[in-house]
Amino acid sequence: MRKATAFLVLYVGLAAAAHAQNQPPNAVIRTNPPATAGSVIEGYSPMTVTFNSCRSTDPDGDPLKYTFDLDGDGTLETMGTCRFTVTYHAATMGGETVTACVDDRTNLEGHRICKAFRLFSGPGQEDVDAAVPKTLYAVVESVTAGSLEVVAADLEPAGDTLVKVDAATGGITVVGSTGFEGTTALEYGPGGRLYATVSGGPGDSAGGVVALGCTWQVLVEIDPATGTASEIGPLFPDDGLCAEFDDLAFAGSALVGLLDGAVYTINTATGQATLAVEEIDEGRFGGLADRAGTVYYGSSDGDLVYTVDVASGTASATGVVLDYSALSEIDEATLEAMTANGATMHGLVRGPTVAPTASEVVALTAPDTWLLVEIELGGGDVTTVADLGSDTRVLGLAWSR
């Protein structure tokens, strides 16, 4: 009887020891479209997301179980498969959380490995093409409501200003100061998130770093309701590349930026930029915009229009040449930005004013005039939609989605 008891104690002890030495699984949880470093997934409704845990392994050879909370109700469901695809039909998702888990069925603490994802989606193309009211946003130097007049003392703290633009008249409504200076590009993303590239905070005390006349930019997110911007992170944290992005767009769920004729993907969680498409041409300025799932690049060098395939790292000339001859307000037009409102492509164009005032003639200066234009991508015709004036610089333009 003592031998039996001793054997039982030994067996239980060995089992407990083995249990204690059991290691948690090596969980590999991926999504398509890929999540950013901050586990954010962005896209358009209906947004289809695949959760894939099939590369997960267990060092002890334990069979793995895959559970998901795909509706964000906090309850994990066993799907019986390591790969599961779900389509979200909500017109707008503003950060709902879903979870994917892998565990080794041992019920040991720390042996269920989970990863949470935040979903942001905007209206799908069927909604974009419908007559849904949109808002045209712009970032400008400090202004007063109703006109683009420079009145820097009217807005505190110092910084560029987010405004709403009436596309029919060019009139503006001030939203508020961003708190950052040196804005160079603006884009409205899925889920109502407004992004911008900036070169510094108030008085360059935050944001971009200025050294030897060189500015290192950061990515910020702007609250469309207040204009206040929050820094996400530097665009080139490793090499401190001295550069200013010209325009932003979305290639599917990925934020992309135009820089000296090349296209970069930008991580919306960290701000880091990565080269995606080598220099397309030698244009210093230009516009980048997505329409109906296609990214277009309008070059300031030769006024050519390209389509951009970020996934393959290539760009193709469409054969369309931008024709500014109908713009009677300015000379030598330069394309600064592009933004799509449904099927309509708009652009921001600047150039020397054709009819300067008498004082400007005496001073031998002609200020730049800023125009909101419509770009006909089939033939390249550029026509004026609204004259935004010549009193201050317009630094970025973006339609809401």
**pLDDT 10s digits, 307-360:** 999 989 999 988 889 999 888 878 788 899 999 987 788 999 988 877 655 554
Look at 184 and 81; give whichever has higher pLDDT.
184
* pLDDT at 82 exceeding the cut of 60: yes
Residue 11 — very low, low, confident or very high, per pLDDT cuts 50/70/90? very low
* pLDDT at 281 exceeding the cut of 80: no
Look at 371 and 200; give whichever has higher pLDDT.
371
The reported pLDDT for the residue numbered 267 is 93
| Verdict on whether the full-model pTM lies above 0.95 | no
Burial class (CB in 10 A: 0-12, 13-18, 19+), 8: exposed
* pLDDT at 7 exceeding the cut of 60: no
Q: Which residues, at least 6 apart from 308, have a Cβ–Cβ distance to it below 8 Å?
A: 251, 256, 263, 277, 280, 288, 295, 296, 297, 314, 315
Share of the chain above pLDDT 90, in %: 37
Phi-psi region of 204 (alpha: psi -120 to 50; beta: other; left: phi over 0): left
| Contact in structure between 272 and 233 (CB atoms under 8 Å) | yes
Mean pLDDT value of segment 86-112: 84
Mean pLDDT value of segment 370-384: 87
The reported pLDDT for the residue numbered 339 is 95
The reported pLDDT for the residue numbered 195 is 97
DSSP conformation letters of 233-287: EESSTTT---B---EEEEETTEEEEEETTEEEEE-TTT--EEEEE---S--SSEE
Indicate if the alpha-carbon torsion angle 37, 39, 44, 49 is positive or negative.
positive
Mean pLDDT value of segment 211-223: 76
Residue 378 — very low, low, confident or very high, per pLDDT cuts 50/70/90? confident
Q: Rounded mean pLDDT of the chain?
A: 79
| Contact in structure between 374 and 382 (CB atoms under 8 Å) | yes
The reported pLDDT for the residue numbered 157 is 47
| Contact in structure between 170 and 163 (CB atoms under 8 Å) | no
Burial class (CB in 10 A: 0-12, 13-18, 19+), 384: middle
Angle subtended at Cα 236 by Cα 231 and Cα 237, rounded to the nearest 5 degrees: 75
The reported pLDDT for the residue numbered 223 is 95
Structure tokens at 338: 């592009």
- 46 prior amide bond cis, ω within 30: yes
The reported pLDDT for the residue numbered 224 is 94
Q: Which residues, at least 6 apart from 335, have a Cβ–Cβ distance to it below 8 Å?
A: 285, 286, 287, 298, 299, 300, 303, 322, 347, 348, 349
Mean pLDDT value of segment 195-205: 67
Model confidence pLDDT, tens digit, residues 149-190: 433 334 444 689 999 998 888 888 999 999 998 899 999 987
All structural domains of the chain: 2-123 (2.60.40.10), 134-399 (2.120.10)
The reported pLDDT for the residue numbered 81 is 81
The helix/strand/coil state of 68 is strand
| Contact in structure between 318 and 297 (CB atoms under 8 Å) | no
- 33 prior amide bond cis, ω within 30: yes
Residue 240 — very low, low, confident or very high, per pLDDT cuts 50/70/90? low
Q: Which residues, at least 6 apart from 64, have a Cβ–Cβ distance to it below 8 Å?
A: 25, 53, 56, 58, 82, 102, 103, 104, 105
* Beta bridge mates, 218: 198, 234
* pLDDT at 129 exceeding the cut of 50: no
Mean pLDDT value of segment 246-268: 93
Mean pLDDT value of segment 263-288: 88
